[in-house]
Amino acid sequence: MRALVLQHVPFEGPGSIATWLSERGAAVQTTRLYRSPVLPDVRSVDIVISMGGPMSVTDEHEHPWLKQEKAFIREAVNHGTAVLGVCLGAQMIASALGARVFANAFREIGWFPVQAVPTDSDAFRFPPQTTVFHWHGETFDLPPGAVHLAKSAGCEHQAFQIGRNAIGLQFHLETTPETAGQIIQHCRSELAPGKYIQTEQALRAAPAAAYLEINRLMGEVLLYITRWPGR
């Protein structure tokens, strides 16, 4: 398996995704777009993983490579390459496929439940309810043809799927105690009181079992989008 990780800032890396890829002997290439936004031929990779970041998909003036990344993601989805978007990465998929990205009614920061959206298709199925790690202030409309997979009390569009090969997650399943500490360190100023914003103490108090469960679910998502030959 040839994996490409698209990283937008130094402190939002692949977390448990890196472990999952390593366990399967994947050849992993990381493009740190904030340093050198040079992307390979989409035909040279089997899975594209677009990570999170504090910028918006519309910040193309400050980050010109956002436009390039969206074009690359669009090509990857259309080519049938497995594509996973996490937080900003999910917004990038939505935007690349023509959907609107905009400020959510609430910021969601912390450990809050998401609910599966019932579907008759053979799309990925989340548990009826599971508690996951959030850190976002924006949301998106569903792209044309998307299957709505998950929602929460604070954000209607938490996850979606395009075909069999692309899934966008507004929340974080890859988070480990180490990566949670990094985002807290760099984005602490966002922890203002809010309906769906936990305190730093509450964020850091999450038990090891909470991380193990979301990382397990992350593995299931990755297995799903990579198991379809030719997709």
In sequence order, which ranges of 148-207 are alpha helices (DSSP H)?
177-187, 200-204
Provide the 3-class DSSP secondary structure of residue 182. helix
CA dist., res. 218 & res. 128, Å (int): 16
27 CB neighbour count, 10 Å cutoff: 11
Is residue 229 predicted with pLDDT exceeding 60?
no
Mean pLDDT value of segment 117-128: 93
CB-based contact 89:80 (threshold 8 Å):
no
Mean pLDDT for the chain?
96
Mean pLDDT value of segment 183-206: 97
CB-based contact 143:94 (threshold 8 Å):
yes
Output the pLDDT for position 121. 83
Is residue 231 predicted with pLDDT exceeding 50?
no
CB-based contact 52:34 (threshold 8 Å):
no
Is residue 67 predicted with pLDDT exceeding 80?
yes
**202-217 residue pLDDT tens:** 999 999 999 999 999 9
How is residue 55 annotated by DSSP? S
Q: Which domains does the chain have, with CATH numbers?
A: 2-226 (3.40.50.880)
Output the pLDDT for position 120. 83
The token duo for 113 is: 């439940």
pLDDT grade for 133, boundaries at 50, 70 and 90: very high
CB-based contact 118:213 (threshold 8 Å):
no
Whole-model pTM? 0.96
Percent of the chain with pLDDT over 70: 98
